[in-house]
A and B are shown apart, each in its own frame.
Chain A
Amino acid sequence: MKKVLLLAMAVLLIVGIPLFGQATQKPKQLVLMNAGSLSGDPGIDMMRKEWGKQNGIPIEVIEQAETYLFDKELAALSSRDSSIDLMAANERWVQDWAAAGFLEPLDDVMADIAPEYIAGADNQLKLGDHYYGAHGGNMVMVMYYRTDLLQQYGRSEPPRTWNEMIEFGKWATKDLNGDGKTDQWGIVHAGVAETHFGDVVTTLIHQLGGSVYNDNKITVNTPEARKALQAIVDLRLKYKISPPGVNTYGSNECLQALQSGSAAMVFSWTWMGKLLNAETSAIRNKWSWVLLPVLEGGTPSSTMITTPLVLNKASKSKQYAKDFIHYYSSYAGQVTEVVWEFGNVALMPEVYSEAIVKDPPKEALDIVKMSKTQWNELQNRILEAVKVVKLERARKQGELDRAYWPELNAALSGIKSVEKALSDAEAQMKRINQGI
């Protein structure tokens, strides 16, 4: 009997040790698919190296061009490819991927993170009662403006209302070299369907108290939406303070307009800020940003774009991957992001009270060639935007946007009236929703 027991224990030991070892075995590496190149994401680059050093697990990064990020990630997820552990996704995709069973829940990771978020910021990360993503690199919609032009215009404070903005825009729209052609425009924004024009319009709708997706109860053809879209269409077609080609502009054209000094104001995300004090920029130290001016009868609002980290359900190193997500998305991680990746936004307002955010290291200022005064003004304005961020949630949001945005562009282009464009958008979006 004793012999049998000893034998059984020996077998258990032999079989058990490798099994136990396998469960806790460190992976040789984690693989992260990033949105774009790491050179544009110094925050996550810094933190993956630091976490890798602390844990002895390097995090390899696939730098995936954003245009094909969705396709590549979805292909990996749907084929249950375990070679990629972590993915920098888009908040619009999280719920659909979670519903399809591609993502690992992150409730344990988010337990101490979610309570720090501003109200509603976790809307798009949840499906049912479970979290499937953690906010990482975030940006808010702001209006960039030229401080030197504003001064010439005779004001020290930026336009806060839509009408003030139009007046400043009219003044700034000029033929500077006298060749009969306008070479400085009042307002520039992205207008082409595949870019953030839809987010600009949605922000204006939110200002007026309207909404679009409403948890899939689409309400795009509303008085608020009509007023919002008409306001922005008027900049180009009625007041002529936006370039005629603004309906073909994407983010790169907005950046070009800013850097070349051919725009007094630009609506865009905060990522451009880190490039505007470069040697080659015509508006070096002559710019700032502020919340989008408010339409008459509205209240300030802002919207965000985020690249939350998600965990592939097929990953074989879930615990380590979760640990990195927590490291990156936690309060401390977000402080690092804000300090070392200028223009990135923390959805935790307390981050902006941190001493290191208010008084950043010289190296952080040098990277963006910024004075502490300019840094603090810009961060304070980001905080202002964070406090009024409104995020809506919808399933199939990416697909809905592909129906919504071209119609907004059609109105901006003057092909359709605002009413017709919104009515067509609503019809198409509802049609897409019928499949849910």
Chain B
Amino acid sequence: MTSPRSKRNQLNAYMLLMPSMVTLILIVFFPILYVAFLSFSGFTYGQRTGFIGLRNYLYIFTDPLFFTSLKATVIFTFWSVIGQATLAIIFATAINAAGKGESGIRLAVIMPYMVSMVAGGVTFRWMLNTEFGIVNYLLLSMKIVDNPVNFLGIPSLAMASIVIAHLWSSTPFATLILLAGLKSISTEIYESAEIDGAGFFRKFFSITIPLIKPQILIVMLIQTMFAFREFALPFSMTGGGPGVTTKLLAMLLKEKMTYLDFGYNSALSVIMMVITLLVALVYLKMMAEPAARNEGS
């Protein structure tokens, strides 16, 4: 049985939470519900023509282009997440070990994050050009290749190129998160391990990685969400080509958006949200497991 004082405290807590709850409902839940509602509607140039049931979803699921885009998006997201987490761990460890020069290196690492994605994409596009690009110029000058490499004109290389450009622009953010995680590890743990004779790799895999696992999972979760809806880089670098091999789902969304087909776009957005949500749930479960184990022990 709860006391009147406890009830009052509860009420006060809800009152204090109310403004943020209302804001959250207005700017998060309402738009989501509205988009879900629109996904069952037909549109002509932004004008709603009525309720059309599942027709938008049916159109999407019978469109071969949707599955091509979905496949491209999954490949892009997978390599972006893996690549970013790996690079961020390496960079964060290196910065953490840098000692005096740390602040300078940190600034240098964060710089790509300050460049707009479109500007970065256009620059990469020129750098990777077969005839005028600096990358091919260097590769040919150093005799690494005999002929220019068509980075953006061959499907696998085009995908690899946009993944690399994405890593260049997004790894700094992940590096900073992981660096914060590394800073929170007590030096005493490493000292004890050293006394026990642990080398660099042993310390790295047995201490560093397990202790920053929550941060790694957060980075992977954020990157999954960002990469899954990436638009600017493929748009400015490959235009979705060659063919439609790098046409990610967000580009498909943008194409239909230009005709203000809010119904189709809402349905596609709902599908993308559901997929992202499912992946996020997996991450959240993975994050919850160590916490539950800790509580259990």
Residues of A within 8 A of B (CB): 70-71, 74, 78-79, 96-97, 100, 102, 179-181, 183, 185, 192-194, 243-245, 247-248, 250, 253, 256-257, 260, 262, 396, 398-399, 402-403, 406-407, 409-410, 412-413, 415-416, 428, 431
Contact = CB atoms under 8 A, between A and B. Distances in A.
B139 to A, nearest CB: 11
A70 B131 CA distance: 32
A71 B242 contact: no
A413 B241 contact: yes
B239 A244 contact: no
Interface in B128-152: 129-132, 140, 146-148, 150, 152
Contact of B153 (A245, A250, A406): A245
Contacts of A180: 146
Contact of A244 (B140, B150, B260): B150
Contacts of A100: 44-45, 47
Contacts of A248: 125, 129-130, 150, 152-153, 238, 241-242
B150 A193 contact: no
Contact of A78 (B45, B147, B148): B45
Contacts of A102: 45
Contact of A410 (B131, B150, B243): B243
B71 to A, nearest CB: 14
Contact of A406 (B130, B140, B241): B241
Given A245-B150, A398-B258, A406 B244 contact: yes
28 contacts: A71-B258, A74-B46, A74-B260, A78-B46, A100-B44, A102-B45, A180-B146, A183-B131, A192-B238, A244-B148, A244-B150, A245-B148, A247-B242, A248-B130, A248-B153, A253-B129, A253-B132, A256-B132, A398-B259, A399-B259, A406-B240, A406-B243, A412-B242, A413-B154, A413-B155, A413-B241, A415-B155, A415-B243
B245 interface: yes
Interface in B230-244: 238-244
Contact of B240 (A193, A247, A253, A431): A193
Contacts of B255: 399, 402
Contacts of A398: 258-259
B247 interface: yes
Nearest to A413: B242
Contact of B130 (A71, A79, A245, A260): A245
Q: Is the interface of B mostly helix, strand, loop or mixed?
A: loop
Size range of the chain B interface in the assembly:
20 to 34
B241 A247 contact: yes
Contacts of A185: 131
Nearest to B122: A252
**Main SS at interface, chain A:** helix
B65 interface: yes
Contacts of A257: 131
Interface in B46-71: 46-47, 63, 65
Nearest to B65: A428
Contacts of A403: 65
Nearest to A236: B153
B131 A262 contact: yes
Contacts of B239: 192-194, 250
Contact of B131 (A192, A243, A416): A243
A151 B150 CA distance: 32
Interface string B63-88: 10100000000000000000000000
A78 B260 contact: yes
Nearest to B44: A100
A410 B65 CA distance: 14
Contacts of B140: 179, 181
A257 to B, nearest CB: 7
Given A180-B146, A181-B147, A415 B130 contact: no
Given A102-B45, A260-B132, A409 B65 contact: no
Given A74-B258, A74-B260, A406-B241, A243 B155 contact: no
A96 B240 CA distance: 25
A364 to B, nearest CB: 32
